[in-house]
Structures are given as C-alpha cells and as structure tokens.
C-alpha cells in the first residue's frame, strides 16, 4: 500500500472510537462460548489437565470444543526451550512446536490440533507489529490497549470460527500477577464484556497449602490469589482447589465467602493416581452441568452420545492400576532427572499398560554414567529398553552401550528419533564392522558419517537449516513387523522433529548385514523405521519419528503397543535369546 493510499484510508475512516473489536469472517456472536482457566498462587498446578478434562466432558455431551494455550514468553514457539526448564516440546501435525499441555489436550480430546490452538506473546506482538508496518491501524498510535488485547481477542474468535466450536477453552499460562500474561487477562476481561452475559465462564485454579508442621489445610494464599484476579475485573464463576489431599468443606466455605463463588462451584481437585481419573471426578462434582448452566448450553447436549462415550471411557479408567503383573522398562536418556522431558513417552506407555492389563514400572537411567563395563548391571532385571529423542553428544555413547546390550541379549528395544540414529550407528559399528561410524551432529569431521544432514534431502523437504517437523507420510514394507503392527497398512502418518538422517550410501551395507528398513519416505531415500527380523530378535525396532506424540488412551500407538507386548513376553515367557548375527 502506498503512503497516499494509506493517508486516503485514514482520511475516509469513520469517527475515531475507543472500541477495537476485530471480528473474523464467519464469526457468530452468541454461537461461540468461552471457558477461561487461569492459575493463582503457584504455577504448575495442572491448568491444562483441568481444562482438557472439563473440555472432554462437554465434548462427551456432543458439543464441539476447541482448546487454546496462551503462553507468556516472547518465543515464537517452544522449539528452542530447554527440557530442563520447560518439559518436553510437543509437536503438532502441522509442525508447530508447542507446550506439553497441547499433548494433554490431544490425548484427552482425541483431536489433532494445529498452530491455531497455541499462541505466545511473541506471536501476538509480531502480529501487531506486522499490521502496524502494513498500515493496518490507520495511523493510530499502537498501544497494548486496545491493539495488543485486540489481537488476543481476534485469535480466540478466529479459532472459534475456524473450528465452529460451541466452546473455546482458553488456558492462560503462568499465574495471576505475572507481568507477562497481564494483557491476556485484560483481553479475556474485554472478551466477556463484548460477548455479553452468559458467554464467558471464568475458572480460577488455585492451591490450598498443607504445611506439615500445622497439620491442617490453609486457604489464605488461595483467597489472596483469587482476589488479585478480582482486582483485574475478572470475577471467577468456578474455583478449583488443588491440594495433595481432598479439600475440606471448611476451606471451601472460606474460599466461597472470599470470592462470591457458590459452594457447589468451589471444588476439590486433589491428587489422583492418573490424570485420566479427573474427568469422572469433575463429572461427579457436577461441574460440567454448572458450566452448561452458566453458558446456557443445555439445549445443545446429545444425551445418547454422552452415554456411549462415557461407557467407553469408564471401561478404560476402571482398569488403571488394577493389573496383577508388572514389567520393568528402562528409559535411558540424559534428561531423566526431569520426568516432564518425556511426558508423552510416559503417557504412551501408560496407554499400553492399561490396554494390555500389565503394570509398567519405568526405570530412569542416566546414560552419561553408562559404559560397556557396567551396562549389564544397569539393565539387570529390565524387560525392555527405550532410548528416547534428544540433542547433543552428551550421553550418546552410553546409549549405544545400552542398545548393543539389548540387541545381543534379545531384550526388547524401541528407539525414538535419536534412539533410531544411535541404533543404526551401533549396528554399523558392531555388525557391519564400520568402527568409526558416527553422526556429524556429534563429530562433524567423522570419517564414516552414517547419520548426516544431506543437501539433497534438505532440497527435497525444503528444510534449509531448520528441522524436519510435523506429520509426514511413511510407506511401510509389506510383510515386515512394522506393517503387521499397523494392520498391514501400506502407508501411515507419523510426527517428526529432527535434522539428521541415515546417509543413503550406507543403506545397502546395513541391509545386507540384516537390518531391515521397513518404513521409508514415499518418494525419497529417507529411512523412517528400522527393525530386525523376529527370528533374529523378538523386538528390535527404531523410528526416526516420535510415535509417542500420537498415542491416545483408547488407541495406543502401535509401535509402543508392540514393544510393551514384547516386554511382557520377555518377562513372563522368557523366549530363547538369539544373537542379531545368527542366521
């Protein structure tokens, strides 16, 4: 747009107004409702778990729901965040790298989400500045209010219109009082004002302290945190109280009096063995009915749909923790001190354990302490090994020692992303005889770069210097274990997050030595899944993908399901141990 055109638009604009409410095409005011979940007292209370559990209850009733997580950091996405600081990076099918809470939403709602379900301060501010450079504000001085808050409201309404959602669940990251989320809170306050009464339900998730020295629960911190929210003009409709043990009626009464929230809407959200028990706990507290009343949605409920899906879910949760047999599975990585770094793997294993009726006990092994002399001791009593994804050289040689031990001793193995690459390197070194096999990620000058960034692959995928991200099609080789795990499908879809590949010039030698690449890119020599034949090893499988990202409670991911089955066979049936080099 030229300067003259911009000035003409400014001159032709209507009388200046303080109202700034951009509306996306197709948006229907009154059709779309909102549930906004905010936290007080401390972070990490489980806002995403609560929000997704409540969203599931409304989804079960036949309503269309759409979640969105609004993060306060200035990063455009979560891709560069250290797992030690922020937990795992969850990758959506469209390639968006986002917060691990998006994984909770996908698993509980059984939905594949997109970048529209996740936003950050960086995204919001970038959008505002882009519009300012393009003349989108018609000469106005661009301010936090109304323009930044207007961008937030636009994102929420765009999601509602795009998904045709009955209810949009808005999770505001951090806690009330954080500088970084203050314009999110102001935006949702404005949203409630603009949408009108009965359109927005506010939920305050708070924390009830239980000091060991006092022997009783204390609610003062919770009261003050919620009052901070009320000072911002947001009156909560529901208060969910997190605590280690059930919140007493006395504490709920105090919080009710301090916040003007009726007692039936002040609920206990105490610790439970599995997050998958929370939806039914909220249902028993009638919070789903309260939300329907607050938002005027009773007439949209499809009771037959709720009865059917509730029975399916109940059948699943009733089996949690009920199994009599157990297996020990080792997760061998370098972030083992922080379980959130492997949150999706933990959940994928849990899905399998419930569906197979076997408790899986995870053993966390830091590979920086492992070498060939002690690997057997570290893996003593283990029935299966997972080598997860990761970046950097630290701990990789320990992973290779674990992989070799699993391969040579018939121990079920599942390699994920880096675990795929390490297993290929191990096989090249110890079976193919390529002693200096390595990855250019760890040694850019290595003589035998089995794993490398390939220029032709970068052109194929359009990657440049970035990672290969999101959902990709994988062609399966007929008759292989991988094909059988996916019910003899010819093509499947997996999610990826990596830069390095198996160099095609080594593929023939690896396959001649017995390694089978059973999953490949449909048109290019990019290896996605490998395996050893089952007559050689009961379960030795790796994938360049992250299959844990697509596992669901009622639909366990097939590569994980096959792995846990193999671990059960190893633990209870003790199959004959075969060397990978046996014919």
Enumerate the active-site residues.
417, 546, 548
φ, ψ for residue 60, nearest 5 deg: -60, -30
What CA–CA distance (Å, rounded) separates 148 from 173? 17
- What are the residues facing 326 on neighbouring strands? 359
Q: What is the DSSP letter of 15?
A: S
**Contact in structure between 205 and 39 (CB atoms under 8 Å):** yes
- CA 490 remoteness from chain centre: 27
Among candidate residues 97, 209, 199, the one with its CA nearest the CA of residue 468: 97
Cα 86 to Cα 73, 170, 336, 539, distances in angstroms: 11, 20, 14, 33
Contacts of 486 (CB under 8 A, 6+ apart): 476, 492, 558
What CA–CA distance (Å, rounded) separates 550 from 558? 10
**Contact in structure between 30 and 157 (CB atoms under 8 Å):** no
Q: What is the DSSP letter of 184?
A: H
Among candidate residues 397, 432, 407, the one with its CA nearest the CA of residue 507: 432
What CA–CA distance (Å, rounded) separates 251 from 208? 8
Beta strands (DSSP E) in 144-218 are 167-172, 200-207
């Amino acid at each position: 747009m030229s300067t003259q055109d911009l000035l003409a638009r400014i001159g032709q604009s209507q009388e200046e107004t303080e109202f700034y409410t951009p509306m996306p095409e197709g948006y229907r005011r009154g059709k779309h409702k909102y549930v906004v979940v905010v936290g007080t007292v401390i972070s990490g209370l489980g806002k995403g778990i609560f929000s997704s559990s409540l969203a599931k209850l409304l989804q079960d009733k036949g309503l269309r729901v759409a979640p969105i997580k609004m993060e306060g950091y200035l990063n455009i996405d979560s891709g560069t965040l250290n797992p030690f600081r922020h937990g795992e990076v969850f990758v959506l099918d469209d390639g968006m790298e986002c917060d691990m809470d998006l994984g909770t939403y996908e698993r509980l709602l059984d939905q594949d989400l997109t970048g529209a379900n996740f936003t950050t301060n960086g995204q919001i501010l970038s959008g505002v500045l882009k519009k300012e450079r393009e003349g989108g504000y018609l000469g106005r001085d661009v301010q936090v209010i109304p323009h930044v808050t207007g961008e937030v409201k636009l994102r929420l309404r765009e999601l509602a219109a795009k998904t045709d959602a009955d209810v949009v669940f808005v999770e505001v990251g951090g806690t009330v009082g954080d500088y970084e989320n203050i314009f999110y809170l102001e935006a949702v306050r404005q949203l409630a004002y603009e949408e009108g009464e009965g359109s927005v339900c506010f939920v305050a998730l708070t924390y009830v302290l239980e000091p060991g020295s006092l022997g009783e629960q204390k609610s003062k911190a919770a009261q003050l945190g919620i009052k901070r929210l009320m000072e911002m003009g947001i009156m909560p409709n529901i208060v969910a109280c997190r605590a280690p043990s059930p919140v007493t009626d006395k504490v709920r009464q105090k919080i009710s009096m301090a916040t003007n929230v009726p007692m039936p809407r002040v609920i206990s959200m105490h610790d439970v063995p599995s997050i998958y028990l929370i939806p039914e706990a909220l249902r028993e507290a009638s919070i789903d009915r309260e939300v329907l009343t607050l938002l005027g949605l009773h007439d949209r409920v499809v009771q037959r749909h709720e009865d059917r899906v509730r029975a399916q879910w109940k059948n699943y949760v009733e089996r949690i923790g009920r199994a009599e047999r157990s297996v020990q599975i080792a997760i061998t990585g370098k972030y083992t001190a922080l379980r959130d770094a492997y949150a999706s793997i933990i959940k994928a294993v849990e899905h399998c354990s419930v569906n197979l009726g076997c408790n899986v006990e995870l053993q966390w092994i830091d590979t920086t302490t492992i070498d060939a002399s002690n690997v057997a001791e570290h893996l003593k009593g283990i029935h299966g090994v997972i080598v997860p994804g990761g970046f950097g050289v630290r701990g990789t040689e320990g992973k290779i020692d674990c992989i070799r031990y699993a391969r040579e001793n018939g121990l079920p193995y599942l390699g994920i992303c880096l675990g795929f690459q390490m297993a290929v390197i191990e096989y090249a070194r110890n079976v193919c005889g390529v002693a200096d096999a390595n990855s250019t990620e760890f040694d850019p000058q290595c003589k035998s770069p089995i794993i490398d960034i390939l220029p032709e692959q970068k052109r194929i995928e359009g990657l440049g210097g970035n990672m290969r991200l999101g959902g990709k099609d994988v062609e399966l080789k007929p008759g292989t274990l991988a094909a059988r795990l996916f019910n003899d499908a010819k093509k499947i879809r997996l999610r990826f997050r990596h830069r390095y590949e198996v160099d095609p010039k080594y593929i023939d030698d690896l396959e001649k030595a017995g390694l089978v690449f059973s999953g490949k890119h449909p048109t290019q020599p990019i290896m996605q899944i490998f395996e050893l034949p089952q007559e050689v090893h009961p379960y030795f499988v790796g994938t360049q993908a992250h299959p844990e990202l697509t596992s669901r409670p009622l639909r366990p991911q097939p590569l994980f399901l096959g792995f846990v089955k193999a671990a059960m066979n190893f633990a209870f049936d003790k199959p004959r141990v075969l060397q990978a080099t046996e014919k």
